[in-house]
Amino acid sequence: MPNYQKNGIQIKGLRKVVRQIEKLGVEAEDLKGAFNRIGTRALSTANAGTPVSSGALKASNRQSKRKNSVYLYSGKAKTYYARFVHYGTTKMEARPYLYNAVEKDGEWAVRQLENEMDRLITKLGLND
């Protein structure tokens, strides 16, 4: 991600980015939309790659609704086996459908965040 040190912002990690931007007066809600778009796309990609027998595992996939990150989750009480499918066992090969979604959509997500950060930096007048 860009390094805006000349304006007093050094971007090292996503949570730090959000905290620094909030200190400058940007509402976290301004970033929440970008994280929601990223999560929605990642969830769609994960669903496409989720192994389907009954459909319960795919139905258990969900995303977080956070202001400074995106998390994908899979599995509930009835689909406790999600971790076995994703990570594999000694008798079953791993099928990392969540990890694959992150790998597939990662570069797109970074571009989305960079665009959103650039928009906010321009909005705050920090791009001089």
Could you read off the pLDDT of 51-84 as tens digits, one per residue? 998 999 999 999 887 777 788 889 888 899 999 9
Q: Examine residue 21 and state whether it is found in any structural domain, yes or no.
A: no
Q: Examine residue 99 and state whether it is found in any structural domain, yes or no.
A: yes
Mean pLDDT of the chain: 80
Q: Examine residue 16 and state whether it is found in any structural domain, yes or no.
A: no
Under 8 Å CB-to-CB from 42, ≥6 apart: which residues?
A: 63, 70, 72, 101, 102, 105, 109
Whether 53 and 32 have beta carbons less than 8 Å apart is answered as: no
Of how many residues is the chain composed? 128
Mean pLDDT of 38-61: 92
Q: Examine residue 19 and state whether it is found in any structural domain, yes or no.
A: no
Query: Full-prediction pTM beyond 0.95?
Result: no
Q: Examine residue 128 and state whether it is found in any structural domain, yes or no.
A: no
Q: Examine residue 94 and state whether it is found in any structural domain, yes or no.
A: yes
Which range of residues forms the domain containing residue 80? Answer: 28-117
Q: Examine residue 10 and state whether it is found in any structural domain, yes or no.
A: no
Is pLDDT at 1 greater than 60 in this prediction? no
Give me the number of domains the chain comprises: 1
Q: Which of 71, 77, 41 is nearest to 59 (CA)?
A: 77
Q: Examine residue 15 and state whether it is found in any structural domain, yes or no.
A: no
